[in-house]
Amino acid sequence: MSDQKTRFRIVFSGSGGQGLVSAAIILAETAVMYENLEAVQSQSYGAAARGGATRSDVIISDGPINLPKIDQPGILICMTQEAYTKFSNLIRPGGLLITDTKYVQTTRKVDARQIELPLYQTVIEEIGNPVVLNICVLGALIGMKGIVKKSSVEKILAEKFPPSFMAGNQMALDIGFEMGFEYAE
């Protein structure tokens, strides 16, 4: 239990239609199926979901995960202003906050590394289809933090989606990865 070297607590937050639950599940499945890690993935729905700000949590570890709930995410991704307002105070001191420049105007200093990326804008300009934004977000995350290999995500994408989706997903993953990799730690 004390020998765990890998542990990520990640919250994807935004609004209902952005596919962030799918991004979280893809990340969790990639970690488990191709990286020999353990993962717990969850979403809490309630008044917040009806109001608009949703969150989807992933914990990834090289050992058993006992507490599925994330109180302080080490990595917080905010894809709407409302999500930023609601969740940015939760971030673990010294953590990482990723926001999208189209959706979020950062208004306060949190004790975390803050990275603002034009993910939405780039997806629209280079792919023209916002439906793959969630895959771009995932690409940015793994470009920046590792967590899992990009080739492993590609395997899961190929398993989960029909072949006709692969080109768009691949482009979105590549674009996000490159943008994130500029900030790799």
Residues at the contact surface with its own copies, assessed by CB under 8 A: 21, 25, 28-29, 31-33, 38-47, 49-50, 64-65, 68-69
Minimum gap (Å) between residue 45 Cβ and its own copies:
4
What whole-number distance in Å separates Cα of residue 58 and Cα of residue 124? 27
- By beta-carbon proximity to its own copies, the closer residue of 93 and 128 is 128
Phi, psi of 18 (to 5 degrees): -90, 0
Minimum gap (Å) between residue 173 Cβ and its own copies:
20
Minimum gap (Å) between residue 88 Cβ and its own copies:
22
What whole-number distance in Å separates Cα of residue 106 and Cα of residue 39? 30
Closest by CA position to 8, among listed 24, 20, 132:
24
Strands 95-100 and 75-78: parallel
What whole-number distance in Å separates Cα of residue 25 and Cα of residue 89? 24
List all residues 6 or more positions away from 110 whose beta carbon is below 8 Å from its beta carbon.
Answer: 88, 89, 91, 97
Minimum gap (Å) between residue 18 Cβ and its own copies:
13
- By beta-carbon proximity to its own copies, the closer residue of 97 and 147 is 147
Minimum gap (Å) between residue 20 Cβ and its own copies:
12
- By beta-carbon proximity to its own copies, the closer residue of 49 and 110 is 49
Q: Which helix (H) or strand (E) element contains residue 36?
A: none
- By beta-carbon proximity to its own copies, the closer residue of 69 and 149 is 69
What whole-number distance in Å separates Cα of residue 21 and Cα of residue 113? 24
- By beta-carbon proximity to its own copies, the closer residue of 34 and 181 is 34
